[in-house]
Amino acid sequence: MNTCRHEFHEPLLVAALYRFTRFEDCAGLRALLERLCREQGVRGTLLVAAEGINGTIAGTREGITRVLEHIRTLPDCADLDVKLSSASAMPFHRMKVRLKREIVTMGEPDIDPRTNAGTYVEPEEWNALISDPDTIVIDTRNDYEVAVGSFEGAVDPKMASFRDFPEWFRRERKRLLGSGKSPKVAMFCTGGIRCEKSTAFLKQEGIEDVFHLRGGILKYLEAVPEERSLWRGECFVFDQRVTLGHGLAEGTHTLCHACRRPVSADGCDSSLYEAGVSCPACHAERSEEQRASYRERHRQEMFAAVQGRAHVGMVRTERTDDRAD
């Protein structure tokens, strides 16, 4: 019996999850999780490291429930952080469980979010905090994510990768915080994991009044009504839904399969956009030879789609270090 083949005839559940904890046998955990997810028809990406687990998975409600139940039995994972949303179609091509040095890569080995993270702020209280003129609000996501949407007045570090955050903060610290008493610092990210590390990093750097949004942008968009929201735009997610809006409704962006960046409706109208081949953001980054390869890959994908099968053999450019926030 092929347990890897599943047909989906009901709305799909998407679970974004993470937990900072200590794992001893990461390789054994990887094998167990991969087997369980495949048995349940669950797809997505899970990252496993000595510091914990992080990922986004999708499947039937029963399949996701069984996987989450198992993860919660792992050491110190009973309080696993999970954000649930839905998808009209399976947003992942396959299931991957990867061993990593960090479940979200910052490159600061002495950071321990379990013991030194900032103060959580509930979504319902977030507006008051970031509206305070004595609060500096920092978006800890990458530049292509911020371009899709952010909170009003948030500082954009313009990072290509989360690992750039420590250098950026050390360089900009005096300009941001001044030389006297530091203001409050509020930080946010998609699901909360990057803020666990970034707030712990700031506290290690001597900043005490550090806060972060519990559950991240996804929880805020779910909990705060649109008419009271200070969020502007959509929220990029690392799956085929591309972006989500208020109420976690699927957004309006598409994904450039050459560079994995989100593309707006205006971007799709650009002469530099070609489905499966290039977008305005990456056109100048690729050679004509590369675009020809992408074009052939896209042709094969379209042919497979007409035949009613998924074409998953191609190699895609992925941002694995910052995935599944």
Known catalytic residues are 189
Cα gap 28→278, rounded to integer Å: 39
H helical segments located in the chain:
26-39, 61-71, 113-116, 123-131, 143-146, 165-177, 193-204, 216-223, 265-268, 288-306
The DSSP annotation for 97-128 comes to: EEE-S-SS----TT--HHHH--EEE-HHHHHH
Tokens for 175, please give them. Answer: 């300009």
Measured between alpha carbons, how far is 156 from 282 in angstroms, rounded to an integer? 21
3-state secondary structure 242-261: CEECHHHCECCCEECCCCCC
- Residue among 121, 321, 153, 316 at smallest CA distance from 231: 153
Q: Cα angle at 193 between 187 and 195, to 5 degrees?
A: 20
Question: Nearest 5 degrees, angle CA 323-CA 324-CA 325?
Answer: 95
CA distances in angstroms from 127 to 25, 154, 217, listed in the order given: 41, 12, 12
Please name the residue that has the structure tokens 């013991």.
Answer: 115
Contact in structure between 224 and 188 (CB atoms under 8 Å): no
C-alpha count within 13 angstroms, C-beta hemisphere, residue 163? 13
| Two tokens, residue 271 | 């002469």
Check residue 281 and give left, alpha or beta (phi > 0: left; psi -120 to 50: alpha): alpha
